[in-house]
Structure 1
Amino acid sequence: MADREGILSNYIHDRHFLQTVNMPRMGKPFIYMKNHKAACTTVLATLMAHLLDLQGEGTDGIDMETVHTPPKTLLRTGTRGLTVRRAMRALDNPDVFRFTIVREPVARTVSAYADKIYKAEKPKRMLMRYLGRPVDGEMSLSEFLDILAQDEGAREVDRHWWSQRKETSYDYIDFDFIGDTRDLKAALDHAMRQIFDVEASKFQDTRKTLGHKSHSRELMESLTTQDRANIETVFGPDLEMYEEVRKALEEVA
């Protein structure tokens, strides 16, 4: 039985949990635990492509807005489509395919900075307000990582740099499959095969179709020894989780 208390303790509030759960309106039941900065846009777009196919529709309507606010006709998510009770029942149901996708923690954290801090999006403004700084002030990658290492509250300001071990309730959900963004196409082929009984997924590479990319590769190359030490301080449990996932995937390869 799903550990309701343990799962909910991972999230700031119940709404946070329900925004992580994604369930279908039709077809074989599944739960995708959304994990920010771990190809969640591509995963959701791919799921939506298959669900649209079940409805006899094409994928032309898939864009950034619909992916991040999925139509109620396709997915149940958030308080508008789910209750905690319903989500917990699904997690206990052996007929429900439970899966998520994780990302190597160093790459994920750098990507969060590149996408949300360097580009000065809403999460940066939220972090600067939390720190009591001007919202248009500068923040380098090293400074960002140092802040996360020293300030636990800063780690909870935005979900894009929130612990993915907590975000996915890794320690409390009996997942049928956990994929890795490093082998994303293979991971989604496997998940879609289980859910939709297809040979290969209708893979929606949102980096190409929706222009969803950043310059995190260059930032990865700039990481200092102290930067990496700060990431280990903040995301030690995530690093352990990632190694466990990689080992499990290698064993079944």
Structure 2
Amino acid sequence: MSLRDDILANYQHKRHFLQTVNIPVLGKPFLYMKNHKSACTTVLATLMAQLLELQGEGTESIDMDSVHTPPKSLLLTGPRGLKVWQVMEALRDPEVFRFTIVREPTARTVSSFADKIVKGDKQKAKLMRYLGRPDDSDITLSEFLDILAQDEGAQDVDRHWRPQRKEISWDYIDYDFVGDMADLNGALAHIVRTLFDAERPEVQDTRKTLGHKSHSRELLDGMTAEDKRNIERAFGPDLEMYETIRKRLDEAA
């Protein structure tokens, strides 16, 4: 298969893929692959702030709505802003800085559960319908992890807990930089310096500015040995990818 076909095979449909890609309208060319539950809101808010500054504008317009649907005057994303051929060209262009942010798989999965299942968001309803249960059915973290370990289809129900290796097309995209959410400030500082020549990069901490945070610490602390084994069963390729990325970051430090 071609690179295009290989990459598209990672996603449920073409729209899903295009919603993952973000390309700027101005400034140095880059391609950011959005990875849910891996600080994507903070990354996008930071990029938008820098692009607004290039336009000579302030950052007052940045809110949760604009971050999740970036204005076309700043970023192109989704089927209304991008075509697959444009993305393929960007992936082949040596001038384009290709990057993404990943997260330790256990922390990401538990955060997804805390943020999207415990709070009863639409993502929970989608999962319950997939399982043939009422939308408001109770489900524990252990049950959630057991389902993901045994049912690959359940992993694909929502991109917040979907394997990162698929979401960022790790096996097919030649990234210039992959940061770790565990050192988000360091990763964003590197990205902003590279793209915007900023000596002191300003990171948009959306946990403070937009109230964007989840509470998963207690869930992580309460995980059982079986829960951890289910993470390994469900996200073995993600764990392998994360270990590779951590090794590269440590060697570059």
Q: TM-score with structure 2 length normalisation?
A: 0.98
User: Which residue does the alignment assign to 1:241?
Assistant: 241
- 1:200 shift after superposition: 2.8
SS at match of 1:27: coil
TM-superposed deviation, 1:66: 0.5
Output aligned runs, 1:203-222, within 5 Å.
Answer: 203-222=203-222
Per the alignment, in what secondary structure is the counterpart of residue 190 of structure 2? helix
Matched residue, 2:223: 223
Shift of the alpha carbon at 1:61?
1.1
Distance across 1 between alignment mates of 2:164 and 2:15: 17
CA RMSD across the alignment? 0.8
Give, in whole Å, the separation in 2 of the partners of 1:211 and 1:223.
26
Task: Provide, for residues 29-82 of structure 1, a one-character-per-residue CA deviation record: whole Å limited to 9, x for no partner.
Answer: 000000000000000000000000001111111111100000111100000100
Per the alignment, residue 22 of structure 2 pairs with 22
- Stretches of structure 2 that go unaligned for 5 or more consecutive residues are none
User: Which shows bigger deviation, 200-209 or 68-77?
Assistant: 200-209
* Kept after mapping to 2: 8 A contact 1:34/1:100: yes
Q: Percent identity?
A: 68
User: What CA deviation, in whole Å up to 9, does each residue of 1:155-201 have, x standing for no partner?
Assistant: 11000000101100111011000000000001000011111111232
Distance 1:191 1:200 in 2: 12
Any idea what SS the aligned residue of 2:139 has? coil
Counterparts of 1:18 and 1:107 in 2: how far apart (Å)?
26
Number of residue-to-residue matches in the alignment: 252
Q: Distance in 2 between matches of 1:221 and 1:120?
A: 22
**How far 1:9 moved relative to its partner?**
1.0
2: CA distance, partners of 1:88 / 1:97: 14
C-alpha separation between the residues in 2 aligned to 1:199 and 1:132? 53
Q: Distance in 2 between matches of 1:250 and 1:101?
A: 15
* Aligned mates of 1:9, 1:130 — CA distance in 2: 21
Give structure 1 stretches of 5+ with no counterpart. none
Checking the alignment, whether the CA contact within 8 Å between 1:46 and 1:201 is kept in structure 2 is no
Q: Is the 8 A contact 1:189 1:199 kept in 2?
A: no
Structure 2 match to 1:69: 69
Q: Which amino acid aligns with 1:168?
A: I
TM-score, L = length of structure 1: 0.98
